[in-house]
Amino acid sequence: MSSRTFTGGEPLRVHGMDALRGELFVNLIAIAIRFRILEYMRSSGPLKKYSVEKMLLELHKLRKVILNDGKEIATEIMRKQKEILESLGIRPEHVPTFLKS
């Protein structure tokens, strides 16, 4: 996937110079983050078989549930997700602190 399609790559429809600068800045940051993720994935063994998109889609499935008593628990972490997290250096037991409910 090219960086153009990754960031939305659609024609910029803005009404002012400040909006244009903001849009370009956000696109630049998105490309920089994606490039860093790609670099890390290339150097990490198990992550070589995933694309950035597949990795993010797999991790996107993780959820946190808030019970009636206020206790927060994460949904079960599947094998693929655990493999990705461990390759990123994230211990699965720390995942609930990162998740939104």
Domain residue spans of the chain:
1-43, 46-101
Contact criterion met (CB below 8 Å) for 87 and 58? no
Check residue 25 and give its pLDDT: 92
Check residue 7 and give its pLDDT: 57
pTM to 2 decimals? 0.61
Distances (CA, A) of 24 to 15, 45, 58, 73: 14, 33, 28, 38
CA angle, 96 then 100 then 101, to 5°: 95
For the segment 65-80, what is each residue's pLDDT rounded down to a tens digit? Answer: 888 998 888 888 899 8
What average pLDDT does the structure give for the chain? 80
Q: Which of 56-65, 75-84, 89-98 has the lowest mean pLDDT?
A: 89-98
User: Helices marked H in 13-51 — which ranges?
Assistant: 17-43
